[in-house]
Amino acid sequence: MPAALLVEFEGVLVETRDARRDALMRALADDGLSLPDDEYDARCAGLPVREAARAAAAFAGAGLDETALDLLTLRAERDFAARIGTGVTLAPGAAALLDGAAGRARLALVTRASRREVEFVLTLAGLEAAFECVVAADDAPPKPSPAPYRRALERLSRRRAVRAADSLALEDGAAGAVAARAAGVPCVVVAPAGAPGEAASAVVRTLDGHSLTTLDALVRRADVEVPA
């Protein structure tokens, strides 16, 4: 059984993809720029807001300086906050998984979202006390760097040592899976619409019906019946 469960926030616990995309599109439109949905998926999905804004502006051929990029990022973040402020939808199975894991594994968030966004959404979802530590975009270089996972393991180990190999990561895409693997943490990717690449130890389409036991079994290839 994993000693620690390290979880990406967006796309794993809460369904924020559409709100994140639409907020960036709106911010781009304010500058007279646009980005097709398929290009957002290819270039921006899974990136921190500033890096997604940089990639979108580059695709649109806009040579933004750092100040203009800061303003674009700020508008996207504010629009995103306004959108999720009307309500947050937890991903299927997420609440049950956290309830079942509490007391059995130490829980940490390792996310590309900013701390401000994470704290806001956790409060809306009633999950502000669920995690022992949060490593947000403000705290470490972004995935696919392993730095966020290493930082989370370091923070957890201040109270009691946690080994990477004895932990389990939940991610929503290739960048996060690469980061987890580079940090030595086995990773399950939640990918409803496709394979996330070779870095993941296992892939599930949803957390619905899964528990800490079944996810660990997928990674360890244990003989335990798991949902499809």
The predicted pLDDT at position 190 comes to 93
Does residue 226 sit within a domain? no
User: Tens of pLDDT along 57-84?
Assistant: 999 888 889 999 999 999 999 999 888 8
User: Last residue of a domain, which of 65, 84, 103?
Assistant: 84
What CATH number does the domain containing 153 carry? 3.40.50.1000
* Same domain flag for 118 and 215: yes
User: Last residue of a domain, which of 68, 84, 100?
Assistant: 84
Does residue 228 sit within a domain? no
Please say if the pLDDT value at position 222 is more than 60: no
Mean pLDDT of the chain: 90
Q: How far apart are alpha carbons 86 and 130 in whole angstroms?
A: 22
* Same domain flag for 158 and 193: yes
Q: How far apart are alpha carbons 82 and 227 in whole angstroms?
A: 36
Please say if the pLDDT value at position 218 is more than 60: yes
* Same domain flag for 32 and 112: no
User: Tens of pLDDT along 158-189?
Assistant: 999 999 999 999 998 888 999 999 999 999 99
Q: How far apart are alpha carbons 51 and 171 in whole angstroms?
A: 18
* Same domain flag for 100 and 189: yes
Whose structure tokens read 């599109």? Answer: 25
* Same domain flag for 58 and 72: yes
Does residue 227 sit within a domain? no
Does residue 55 sit within a domain? yes
Query: Which of 28-42, 111-125, 157-171 shows the highest mean pLDDT?
Result: 157-171
Whose structure tokens read 């829980």? Answer: 107
In the chain, how many domains are there? 2
* Domain containing residue 57: 17-84
- The whole model's pTM is what? 0.86
* Same domain flag for 68 and 140: no
Q: How far apart are alpha carbons 53 and 34 in whole angstroms?
A: 11
* Same domain flag for 155 and 74: no
Q: How far apart are alpha carbons 68 and 212 in whole angstroms?
A: 44
* Same domain flag for 31 and 65: yes
Does residue 141 sit within a domain? yes
